[in-house]
Chains A and B, each alone.
Chain A
Amino acid sequence: MRIIVNGNEQQITAHTSISALLETANIDPEQVVTELNGLIIAPEHYEETHLNNGDTIELIQFVGGG
């Protein structure tokens, strides 16, 4: 199925969880804000939240420094 990740179309397998998506993209789940169809998903729900065809997901990764 197809989803939009940070504005780019991406092909993923059905029932992919947010956790799996982050792992594939090599993103530390502790350093990201995940917005799924405009709603922020709490990190404790990454494992159980599965993506659907046509979903729009924004992954906002933080880097250290301040």
Chain B
Amino acid sequence: MSKQLIQICINERTLTVASGTLLRELQQLQCPDADLLIVNGYPCPVDQILADQDRIVMIRRGVAPEPQELEALMMARHTPGVHTKVKGARVGIAGAGGLGSAIAIALARTGIGFIKIADFDVVEPSNLNRQQYFIDQIGLPKVHALRANLQRINPLVTVDVYHGKITAQNMKDLFADVDILVEAFDAADQKAMLANTFLPTFPEKYLVAASGMAGYEPGNSIRTQKINEHFYLCGDNLTSAGPGCGLMAPRVGIAAHHQANAVLRLILGEDPATEG
């Protein structure tokens, strides 16, 4: 009489085991050093018999999984088919402030294969109210601090950085190797300079820019607008930063994530500005 088999999923890989197999038996075979066993989303301190279609994650506390395993674990919550496309994507980010740092983190978590970040600035204490840096990074060039943070989040992303000013002259070289550029500057004239240079220089590429995200006006006023097939604009188009209207984490974050989502939609072949 042949033993009945069940199919389980361990660390995002499918495995066939004999019916009646115990969790601890599986641990001895698959991951003997693990000190945390999670079955179907819940930590499991006592042994149990595995059931068909159980989803098991075995973790060693504080130990990073091997790259291949990490990739499978991180991408397990993506919609099927997304991972291959985002892994092949090449995205540039012009500016590593409130917008750029949040966009970079969202894109790294999404598994974008190549991110190029350019910025001239260093981390200052006044940045920490909205920018994705840490107190111990004060004084570091933002691009170096951001690269370090991205490597801690997802070492599988290739991060290329440029510490310096982006100008109309160097833009052609800086962003020749990306398909989509995200404008994440602070100053209005720099935003316009980037769009006025990038779009005619690279008519085949895409630009996702931002304008209007200061203060604490309603989040719903921030939206993604299509200017043309290759140019999208996120923000409320109105609220500029200035005396009496500062830049704060929630609204800057909303605009940044509109931009990151526009990038993701472009990668997946969807129009960023089309609603439901």
Chain A residue at minimum C-beta to C-beta distance from B195: A33
Given contacts A31-B188, A33-B195, A42-B200, contact A64 B227 (CB under 8 A): no
Query: When the two chains form their complex, are residues B211 and A61 in contact, meaning their CB atoms are under 8 A apart?
Result: yes
* B99 neighbours in A (Cβ, 8 Å): 66
Which interface class (under 10, 10 to 19, 20 to 34, 35 or more) fits A?
10 to 19
Query: When the two chains form their complex, are residues B228 and A65 in contact, meaning their CB atoms are under 8 A apart?
Result: no
* B213 neighbours in A (Cβ, 8 Å): 65-66
A40 to B214, CA, bound (A): 27
Interface string of B207-221 (1 = CB under 8 A from A): 001111110000000
Which chain B residues in 191-238 approach chain A with CB under 8 Å? 191-193, 195-196, 199-200, 209-214, 227-228, 233, 235, 237-238
B240: interface (CB < 8 Å): yes
Chain B residue at minimum C-beta to C-beta distance from A41: B196
Which interface class (under 10, 10 to 19, 20 to 34, 35 or more) fits B?
35 or more
B241: interface (CB < 8 Å): yes
A7: interface (CB < 8 Å): no
Query: When the two chains form their complex, are residues B233 and A60 in contact, meaning their CB atoms are under 8 A apart?
Result: yes
Please list the residues of chain B having a beta carbon within 8 angstroms of any beta carbon in chain A: 95, 97-100, 184-189, 191-193, 195-196, 199-200, 209-214, 227-228, 233, 235, 237-242, 247, 252, 255
Query: When the two chains form their complex, are residues B228 and A38 in contact, meaning their CB atoms are under 8 A apart?
Result: yes
Among A31, A35, A63, find the residue whose CB has the most chain B CB atoms closer than 10 A: A63
* B238 neighbours in A (Cβ, 8 Å): 63
A17 to B242, CA, bound (A): 31
Query: When the two chains form their complex, are residues B195 and A66 in contact, meaning their CB atoms are under 8 A apart?
Result: no
- Can you list 27 A-B pairs, Cβ within 8 angstroms, ordered by A? A31-B192, A32-B192, A33-B192, A33-B199, A33-B227, A35-B228, A40-B196, A40-B200, A43-B196, A60-B195, A60-B227, A61-B211, A62-B191, A63-B188, A63-B238, A63-B241, A64-B187, A64-B214, A64-B240, A64-B241, A65-B186, A65-B213, A65-B247, A66-B186, A66-B191, A66-B210, A66-B247
Chain A interface main SS type: mixed
A42 to B187, CA, bound (A): 19
A12 CB to nearest chain B CB (Å): 22
Count contacts between A and B, CB distance < 8 Å: 82
Please list the residues of chain A having a beta carbon within 8 angstroms of any beta carbon in chain B: 28, 30-33, 35, 38, 40, 42-43, 58, 60-66
A57 to B104, CA, bound (A): 33
A35 to B231, CA, bound (A): 11
* B196 neighbours in A (Cβ, 8 Å): 33, 40, 42-43
A16 to B53, CA, bound (A): 71
Chain A residue at minimum C-beta to C-beta distance from B238: A63
B43 CB to nearest chain A CB (Å): 41
A60 to B184, CA, bound (A): 16
Instruction: Given contact pairs A40-B200, A61-B211, A62-B195, enumerate 15 new A-B contacts (beta carbons under 8 Å).
Output: A28-B189, A33-B196, A43-B196, A58-B227, A60-B195, A62-B192, A63-B238, A63-B239, A64-B188, A65-B213, A65-B247, A65-B252, A66-B98, A66-B99, A66-B255
A38 to B233, CA, bound (A): 16
Closest 3 CB pairs of A and B: A65-B241, A63-B240, A62-B191
Query: When the two chains form their complex, are residues A63 and B227 in contact, meaning their CB atoms are under 8 A apart?
Result: no
